[in-house]
Chain A
Amino acid sequence: MSAAWLLFLPIALPFAGAVLAFIAGRAGDRRAPQWVNVGTTALMTLVSLLLLSAVWRDGPQAIQMGGWAAPFGITLVADILGAVMVVITALSGLAVAVYAMADIDEGRAKLGWHALYLVLLAGVTGAFLTGDLFNLYVWFEVMLIASFCLLVLGGDKAQLDGGLRYVALNLVATVMFLMAIGLLYGLTGTLNMADLHVTLKTVDAPGLVTTIAVLFLGAFGIKSAVFPLFFWLPASYHVPPVAVSAIFAALLTKVGVYALIRLFTLVFTADVDYTHGILLVIAGATMVTGVLGAAAQNQVRKILSFHIISQIGYMVMGLALYTPLALLGAVFYLVHHIIVKANLFLVGGVAKRITGSFELDRIGGLYKAKPWLAVLFLIPALSLAGIPPLSGFWAKLVLIEASLEVEAWVIAGVALVVGLLTVFSMSKIWLEAFWKPHPDGDAAVGAVALTRGETVALVAPIVLLASITVIIGLAPQPFLDLAARSAQELLAPEAYVRVVLGGLP
């Protein structure tokens, strides 16, 4: 398949799937949308893997949309980071799509849930593949509207309330992002990120560039849910159906982190001491406040939501340290985290189905009744906490080593202590939901029986994601190779810039 198709299909497929899912759903067959969804995400996975292999083999790939050369048109471009993110998006998208077959009720499906879900994936993929700053903004908008609709779709009051908070705070980010783009365009006359990499070197206003960079940092900071901009996340992630929480947890903040990584390696690298210094402070504060937030919660999805924040801190830390090893760690962390976080929400959802609630004081008895679920929970939970030999261990190991290497003692200490606090707050779920007997007695566990089809749909994705976590943990080297190549590309983006601007195949 040519580069053009490999780059465009990951965006076009989910859009086509969305149209098809909605029309098929309206045409009558109530199961059609979900099968379209699963089929589309499966195809996306396939194509994205081909894209990754092409990038691995031949270096960064780019196409000029509409045939207009950069920087005049819009360029789609994939380096290792972009391709990896697309793969992981498709994969988590597939897992959650399967889960949704049993999780999304007919009412929501009828209102276009599956179409909205696919549009969300399209927006995420677009953000990972675009080489153009304004186009990135467009994909952020696509994600925002699709995620807002998924959040409130078929919703009760809690969903609407969460949705309002979500959209109001995210619109602040949207406005900041748009203003920052306008200002940067005014300064440079270009929107193409590779071109900006080149052009900014000739702009004789370093202070102004740094100021605009900080505005971008703010906009993406909100999107990534870093301290003190994360309020929207814990206010909303616990209200929608589990499938929605899971895909949000997997992808939304990570797009923000990706954008931070992209801009603060490719575009804004003139005053690293200042910009990345800010990032490092933010990273530490995010880790600590996030994990403390989790420690204060008593509801499964709220605990998991605050953990997202805390984990974002680790990724930002990798970017902030700005060494090859640290960036390697950031990329590795991104991949690991998406898999693990989506899975934890999925497991949480199954636990809720079996025990009847997300509230920890109202559930229990899972360890005795459902040992298989205990195993499936322990894998992502221990991985999140950084326990070896699972994926999260390597992610944390790399980042800690990277910080020790440059004698960044404080952040290394923070990363270690937050690791312990993560163990603490994750163990709460284990102790309460799994070990503690159910407050209503053993009979309350599994009172609502699942059909075989439901069980398969709910558990198969969990098993898939858990296996990936274990594979990364036991055989980390291929993933480290990928992350290392990616870090190399990020720190020396010449090949990326050349393939975008040079019009080379």
Chain B
Amino acid sequence: MGNGTLETAAPTEARSRNRFRDGGRWMGFASAVPPALVAAWLLSLLPRVSEGRPVLWAVDWAPTLGVSLAFRIDGLALLFGLLVSGIGVVIMLYAGSYLKGHVHLGRFFLYMTAFMFSMLGLVLADDAVALFVFWELTTVTSFLLIGFTHTDPKSRRNALQALLLTGGGGLALLAGLLLMGLESGTLRLSAMDPVLIQGSALLPGIIVLVLLGCFTKSAQFPFHFWLPNAMSAPTPVSAYLHSATMVKAGIYLLARLSPTLGGDPLWVWSLTVAGALTAVIGAAWALRQTDLKQMLAWTTVMALGALTLLLAGSAPISLAAAMTFLVVHALYKATLFMVVGILDHEAGTRERDKLAGLARAMPLTAAAAVLAAFSMGGFPPFLGFIGKELKYEGALALVAAPGVAAFGLVLASAGMVAVAGMIAIDPFFGRQRKSVSARPHDPPKSMLAGPLLLAGLGLAFGLAPGVISGPLVQPAVTSVLGGPATVKLALWHGINLPLVLSIATFTLGVLFYIFRTPVVAGLNAFVGRLPMTGERAYDGWLAGLKALAAWQTRILQGGHLRVYMATTLGAVVALTLFTLFWADALALPAAGSPSLSILGVTVAVTAAAGAAIVVTTRSRLAAIGALGIVGTAVAVLFLMHGAVDVATTQFLVETLVVVLLAAALVRLPRLTQTPRRNRRARLRDGILSVGAGLTVTLVMLAVLAEPFDRRVTDFFEAAAWPEAFGRNIVNVILVDFRALDTFGEIAVVAVAGMGAYALLKGGMAVPKQPIESLILRTATRGLAALLAVFAVFMLLRGHNDPGGGFIAGLIAATGFTLLALAHGVGLARQALGGAPRIVALSGLGIALLSGLAGALAGGAPFEGLWLFLGGDPAAGDKGIPLSTVLVFDIGVFLVVVGSVLAIVFGLEEEA
């Protein structure tokens, strides 16, 4: 299934290698130093750890969350740490030559080193959150490395696939770890009390979540398919991350959590079933591959399945088998990957049927391959043999279905024997094929040293298993078991069931190898008839997700403002209305209050009628006029409630708005056709509008049914004159009590002026002639002057009588507008003495300064500073008041004048 992947990936990799430049090997040497140092350091800890004294180191990281950077090196951590760092040394050296001269070599080693430290952090961490942090870092670095040949679409696709699968599993793992933390009261893995967790009602959930994390990371069925696809990474990456280290992270965590979560039937069965299926599938699929790297990837899947299966149990022998096989696998698998990389490098292909007879040209490579293959096939006296015997012994000691597990392992191991033959015999022996590129030979020493060393270790440890059993495997098993264990590794165990199974395996494996052509054909036929594979499920899932996203976006964000408006308004109104009834908040004010006057009703009906015209008319001017009616009616309502200032402002604003809108609309092209909406849309909008109005009315009535708290109102009435020196309460509120509100609002006005001006000048400006009317022209100069004087008068008296900056500003603006309409903008601008927007912003600045004055004088901002000129305290006459409050109102005045005129001039001015 991954064949297509590699056929396109391999040439790309080859191409980038064609651009080899000098240098790069030193980078490999340099990058090998850190792992070498780490490995040496870890080896120095070996005596202490194998005595059962773990190394601890912790520092608080996020104490609020109970998270610390805690590390604990026990037997298990040490075993993994040594694998990560030891194999790291070999791979870095190898990669330096393999990728020599690659344009992105620096990045490559950066990612590899980052990965290595993340992986070390993962296996050494004792804090669950810290472990997760490193876990995710390995995912990210793996993503960057799988997509290293990023110009190839397949590489990108496979990188994303690995990211999503392992990332998704990672998130599940996080939830699982956090739940373990909550249930046990600590995030320290070593301090989590198995009793608390095993007794938790959440145990099944925790197990499922943790297993999702481990199974995705370690490529267990049904998530296994990302791993072979990840082979689009450069071969050193595959050798390191996707066989020896990262994919073992899930295995590591299963082992690490075994004392806490193990033993539960859900755990045992999940591991057994997933492990056995993965092992068998991995072996079967490995046989089907024609690309040697793919073949190795699938054998990794098989190995991971076997490891998971062995970790299902908690018998010391199963665990010992798992830990030993871990070492075996790391040694031969890294070797074989490097060998395949060398073949690819030298012969230009990794296709099984194109390679043969290379042993003469590449004797050392062939030696490494054969040594590793022996270990892989489990032949004595290699460590692989011991590993396999232990595997069978361990499988037979499992709790759940030991017979089936052992049978599965025999099948899978037989597959391994055949695969070992295909990798170590086929390419190197027999007659060399012509298709192979000219003159293959052994690669440089730095590329060969690693494979030979690791393969040699596979033999050495097999001959002297005591070297690893005591110091490495036994402490690791002790950690997983949570208690002391004795592990003895030996080649000869006597004649027992495992030996019988071993012999069966060899026989079966050799048969598989000899009849490989029909076996593969049969497997292919079988696979072709499978209804579903993980890969296809992933593709389907992704396609479904994209379709869902597109569908949802079409529905939700379809691009029609009408729909947006209706939904927005409808949702809020519906929720409010529902709450009103649900919370039983409906109430009516007591009879008689508020009184309904005839005038009030008339005004309300007028306003409603105006609104009705706005929404039904086809004429723009009629709509504007009707809008004016609504505004005026509202102004009358203000008047009826004694708010003269507010009403005046409203009147003036309404007038100006109508004039400005009309002036703007005159420039628009005539509507030839009024867009008519269909009846359903109109009905919907109608219901919505009525519903919104009704809802607000109902809530309002309920509010009116409650008594009104007059505290603030009473204070304003009481304090306005004695404390704020103003009789016009509205103005005092505006410029003093709530001056900050006013300040904000004039900023709004000023910005509106700027914005409108910018829009008008930014658009297409049509030359505009002043209105030709002699009467208008003669009258306006005088009228404008009069309005200006009147405005100043209104401004100054505002604090005590109706007036103030807003009203005065609107009056003055009207005067200038008249001037502009009659005599052109030029004159009006001249009369104003500056650009309107400058006037407006200066006003804003003045208002701000008046506010700052209060603070500069040691009080609060906007605190009024008063100076009374020539007062007669005895007569109760304070004199002529000068105050920062007045200055503030002048600022308001200027802002209003400037902003209105910015709009007017923008409309009237030529472009």
Q: How many residues of B contact A (CB 8 A)?
A: 114
Residue pair B579, A66 in contact (C-beta under 8 Å): no
Measured CA separation A277–B103 after assembly (Å): 55
Residue A65 CB within 8 A of the other chain: yes
Are A229 and B568 neighbours in the complex by a CB distance under 8 Å?
yes
A115 lies within 8 A of chain B by Cβ: yes
The reply to whether B841 and A18 form a contact with Cβ atoms under 8 Å apart is yes
Cross-chain contact B741 with A293 (CB below 8 angstroms) = no
A268 to chain B, nearest CB (A): 12
Given A66-B736, A387-B140, A416-B175, A4:B861 Cβ within 8 A: yes
Q: How far is the CA of A139 from the CA of B740 in the complex (A)?
A: 10
The winner among A23, A164, A417 for most chain B CB atoms within 10 A is A23
The yes or no answer to B56 lying at the interface (CB within 8 A) is no
Point out the residue from B147, B550, B736 that lies within 8 Å of A296, measured CB to CB. Answer: B550
Q: Determine the interface band of chain A, counting residues with CB < 8 A from chain B.
A: 35 or more
- Whether the Cβ atoms of B744 and A139 lie closer than 8 Å is yes
Which chain A residues numbered 389 to 444 have a C-beta less than 8 Å away from chain B? 389, 393-394, 397-398, 400-401, 404-405, 412, 416-417, 419-421, 423-424, 427, 431, 434-437
A301 vs B583: C-alpha distance when bound (angstroms): 42
Task: Find out whether the CB atom of A186 lies under 8 angstroms from the CB atom of B703.
Answer: yes
Using an 8 Å CB-CB cutoff, how does the interface string of A98-131 with B read, 1 for contact, 0 for none?
A: 0000000000000110011001001100100010
Q: Chain B, 575-589, contact with A by CB distance < 8 Å: what is the 0/1 string?
A: 110011011110100
Q: How far is the CB of B518 from chain A (nearest CB, A)?
A: 42
**B564 contacts partner chain A, Cβ-Cβ < 8 Å:** yes
Is A502 at the interface (CB under 8 A from chain B)? no
Contact partner, A292, options B60, B549, B567, B715, Cβ 8 Å:
B549
Interface string of A192-208 (1 = CB under 8 A from B): 00000001000111111
B758 beta carbon closer than 8 Å to chain A = yes
A322, chain B: closest CB distance, angstroms: 18
Give B798-840 as 1s and 0s: 1 = Cβ < 8 Å from A's Cβ atoms.
0000000000000000000000000000000000000101100
Task: Report the Cα distance A268→B851, complex, angstroms.
Answer: 33
| Cα distance A296–B544 in the bound complex, in angstroms | 12
B564 and A169 form a contact (CB under 8 A): yes
B855 x A145 contact (CB < 8 A): no
Q: Is the CB of B568 within 8 A of A169?
A: yes
A166 to chain B, nearest CB (A): 10
Minimum CB–CB distance for B405 against chain A, Å:
33
- Distance in angstroms from A476 CB to nearest chain B CB is 5
B163 within 8 A of A: yes
In the bound assembly, the distance between CA atoms of A188 and B837 in angstroms comes to 40
Chain B nearest CB, measured from A187 CB (Å): 5
Report the nearest A residue to B860, measured CB to CB. A67
CB neighbours of B755 from chain A (8 A): 116, 145, 148-149, 152-153
Asked if A367 is at the interface of the complex by the 8 Å CB criterion, the answer is yes
- What is the bound-complex CA distance between A206 and B576, given in angstroms? 14
B882 contacts the other chain (Cβ, under 8 Å)? no
**What are the residues of chain B within 8 A of A228 when measuring CB–CB?**
556, 567-568, 571
**What is the minimal beta-carbon distance from B667 to any residue of chain A, in angstroms?**
16
CB–CB A16/B845 < 8 A: yes
Q: Which residue of B is nearest A218, CB measured?
A: B572
Q: Which residues of A contact B706 (CB under 8 A)?
A: 186-187, 203-205, 208
CB pair B861–A231 under 8 Å, yes or no, is no
Q: Could you say which of A71, A215, A293, A434 has the most chain B C-beta atoms within 10 Å of its C-beta?
A: A215
Which one of B699, B708, B862 contacts A208 once the chains associate, using CB atoms below 8 Å?
Answer: B699
Render A213-230 as a binary contact track against B, CB cut-off 8 A, 1 for contact: 011011101100000110
Question: Contact string, B498-528, partner A, CB cutoff 8 A, digits 1/0?
Answer: 0000000000000000000000000000000
Which residues between 379 and 395 of chain A lie within 8 Å of chain B, taking CB atoms?
382, 387-389, 393-394
Given contacts A122-B747, A397-B129, contact A187 B703 (CB under 8 A): yes
Residues of B within 8 A of A420 (CB): 164, 167-168, 171
Contact A231 B712 (CB under 8 A): no
Q: Is the CB of A111 within 8 A of B745?
A: no
Also in contact, A183 and B699, with CB within 8 A (given A211-B585, A293-B556): yes
Cβ-defined contact, B576 with A211, below 8 A: yes
* Contact A229-B572, Cβ < 8 Å, known A189-B711, A211-B585, A400-B174: yes
The answer to whether residues A393 and B133 also contact, given A4-B861, A26-B835, A382-B140 and a CB cut-off of 8 A, is yes
Residue of B103, B153, B751, B842 contacting most chain A CB atoms (<10 Å): B751
The residue from A26, A292, A388, A437 contacting B133, defined by CB atoms under 8 A apart: A388
Stretch at the interface among A249-257, A349-357, A450-458, A477-485: A477-485
Residue from the list B60, B175, B584 in contact with A400, Cβ < 8 A:
B175
Q: How far is the CA of A345 from the CA of B149 in the complex (A)?
A: 27
A211 touches B580 (CB 8 A): yes
If the complex has contacts A190-B711, A214-B576, A231-B564, are A19 and B841 also in contact, measured as CB distance less than 8 A?
A: yes
Q: Which residue of A lies closest to B586 (CB)?
A: A207
CA distance A164 to B706 in the complex (A): 39
Q: How far is the CB of B744 from chain A (nearest CB, A)?
A: 4
Would A8 and B861 be within 8 Å (CB), given that A165-B564, A189-B708 are in contact? yes
User: What per-residue 1/0 map shows which CB atoms of B180-210 lie under 8 Å from chain A?
Assistant: 0010000000000000000000000000000
When the two chains form their complex, are residues B703 and A183 in contact, meaning their CB atoms are under 8 A apart?
yes
Residues of chain B contacted by A112 (CB below 8 angstroms) = 754, 758, 837
Q: Is the CB of A292 within 8 A of B548?
A: yes
Q: How far is the CB of A384 from chain B (nearest CB, A)?
A: 14
B699:A12 contact, CB within 8 angstroms: no
Q: Are B167 and A423 in contact (CB under 8 A)?
A: yes
B572 touches A16 (CB 8 A): no
A400 to B176, CA, bound (A): 11
B615 at the interface (CB under 8 A from A): no
The minimal Cβ–Cβ distance linking A360 to chain B, given in whole angstroms, is 13
Interface string of B720-750 (1 = CB under 8 A from A): 0000000000000000111111001101100
CA of A204 to CA of B140, assembled, Å:
57
Q: What's the nearest-Cβ distance from chain B to residue A84, in Å?
A: 16
9 A/B residue pairs, CB under 8 Å, sorted by A: A66-B854, A135-B741, A145-B748, A149-B755, A205-B702, A296-B552, A328-B64, A400-B174, A405-B182
**What would 4 more interface pairs be, CB under 8 Å, given A145-B748, A219-B572?**
A187-B703, A190-B709, A190-B711, A207-B584
List the interface of chain A (C-beta within 8 A of B). 4-5, 8, 12, 15-16, 18-20, 22-23, 26, 63-68, 71-74, 76, 111-112, 115-116, 119, 122-123, 126, 130, 134-135, 138-139, 141-142, 145-146, 148-149, 152-155, 160, 164-165, 168-169, 172, 176, 179, 183, 186-191, 199, 203-208, 210-212, 214-215, 217-219, 221-222, 228-229, 231-232, 234-235, 271, 274, 278, 289, 292-297, 328, 367-368, 371, 382, 387-389, 393-394, 397-398, 400-401, 404-405, 412, 416-417, 419-421, 423-424, 427, 431, 434-437, 476-477, 480-481, 484
Interface residues of B (CB under 8 A from A): 60-65, 103-104, 107, 129, 132-133, 136-137, 140, 147, 150-151, 153, 156, 159-160, 163-164, 167-168, 171-172, 174-175, 178-179, 182, 545-546, 548-550, 552-553, 556-557, 559, 561, 564-565, 567-569, 571-572, 575-576, 579-580, 582-585, 587, 696, 699-700, 702-706, 708-713, 715-716, 719, 736-741, 744-745, 747-748, 751-752, 754-755, 757-759, 761-762, 835, 837-838, 841-842, 844-845, 848, 851-852, 854-855, 859-864
